[in-house]
């Protein structure tokens, strides 16, 4: 598996795009960086060109992007503007592709959460409609979108792999697949059997220690069980550290070593 870093988690107030750690990621030996798509999409032309040049100079690509939608770009509720949502989606996906992305993460709980009092059935219909549009635009851009479910502290819809798979079935388009995120999986108390139902449908993965959503600094059996479940389902793609830290370089170096060893061992057991 390739190992990357979600750069936007490191210093979000100063660097919401996540580009400032790209050179250090390259030096440490990460395979790619994952940038914040909503912040990339908001850049003016000069700012976007600067990010693209910095990526090229570093030797890394933003092979995946997270943070698809800003909270104000509503996906559920009475204020949804579907035409504006499609325009934003097409623009954001073009930029992701230009930075070298192959996958974009459709999480964005701020945009997707159901407003108080709004009918859940209607909200689900809106999410399905948006997902089909995202899949269409992703295919047009030569990308794949991955449904990310969240946890009960961040979201009020899409709280399990079971719900993510339901949305995938309801969307029923080749431009949409699912993501596995260890942090949400752990918060929600899921187990490897929950990942098994998504076998063949997972195209991207995120990872963070449950406590404090931190970098994984030492191997743990629960990490191994999660990664082994991915490998057993045939997944050999990318695993991005989506975590907080106040000491990026030492924590990133340790996390890379931990995840590199675990992923190699788990994949080897399947081969």
Cα–Cα nearest to 136, from 107, 103, 175, 164: 175
Residue 54 to residues 20, 47, 246: CA-CA distances in angstroms? 9, 11, 23
Residue range 50-95, pLDDT digits in tens: 999 999 999 999 999 999 999 999 999 999 999 999 999 999 999 9
Q: For residue 79, what pLDDT is reported?
A: 95
Helix (H) or strand (E) holding 165, with range, is helix 161-171
> 174 falls in which pLDDT band (50, 70, 90)?
very high
Task: Give dist(CA 60, CA 27) in Å, integer.
Answer: 10
Q: For residue 27, what pLDDT is reported?
A: 98
Is pLDDT above 80 for 271? no
Cα–Cα nearest to 51, from 22, 14, 78: 22
Assessment of whether the complete model's pTM goes beyond 0.95: yes
Q: Which residues contact 25 (CB under 8 A, 6 or more apart)?
A: 4, 5, 7, 33, 58, 60, 252
Residue 92 to residues 72, 128, 199, 240, 244: CA-CA distances in angstroms? 15, 19, 28, 20, 25
In order of start, what are the domains of the chain with their CATH numbers?
2-270 (3.20.20.150)
Kindly state the tokens that stand for 223: 């990490």
Q: Give how far the C-alpha of residue 17 lies from the chain's centroid of Cα atoms, to the nearest Å.
A: 14
> 163 falls in which pLDDT band (50, 70, 90)?
very high
């Amino acid at each position: 598996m390739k190992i990357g870093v979600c750069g936007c988690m490191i210093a979000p107030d100063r660097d919401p795009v996540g580009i400032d750690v790209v050179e250090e990621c390259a030096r440490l030996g990460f395979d790619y960086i994952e940038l914040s798509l909503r912040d990339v999409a908001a850049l003016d032309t000069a700012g976007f060109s600067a990010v693209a040049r910095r990526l090229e100079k570093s030797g890394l690509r933003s092979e995946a992007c997270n943070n698809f939608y800003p909270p104000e770009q509503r996906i559920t509720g009475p204020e949804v503007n579907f035409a504006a949502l499609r325009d934003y989606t097409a623009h954001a996906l073009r930029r992701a592709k230009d930075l070298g992305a192959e996958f974009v993460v459709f999480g964005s709980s701020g945009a997707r959460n159901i407003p108080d009092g709004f009918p859940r059935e209607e909200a689900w219909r809106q999410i399905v409609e948006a997902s089909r549009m995202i899949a269409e635009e992703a295919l047009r851009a030569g990308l794949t979108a991955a449904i990310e479910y969240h946890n009960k502290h961040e979201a009020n819809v899409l709280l399990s792999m079971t719900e993510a798979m339901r949305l995938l079935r309801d969307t029923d388009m080749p431009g949409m697949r699912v993501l596995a995120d260890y942090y949400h999986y752990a918060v929600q108390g899921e187990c490897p059997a929950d990942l098994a139902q998504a076998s063949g449908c997972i195209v991207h993965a995120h990872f963070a220690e449950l406590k404090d959503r931190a970098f994984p600094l030492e191997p743990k059996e629960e990490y191994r069980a999660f990664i082994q479940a991915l490998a057993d389902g045939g997944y050999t793609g990318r695993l991005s550290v989506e975590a907080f830290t106040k000491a990026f370089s030492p924590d990133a170096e340790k996390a890379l070593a931990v995840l590199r060893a675990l992923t190699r061992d788990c994949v080897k057991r399947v081969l």
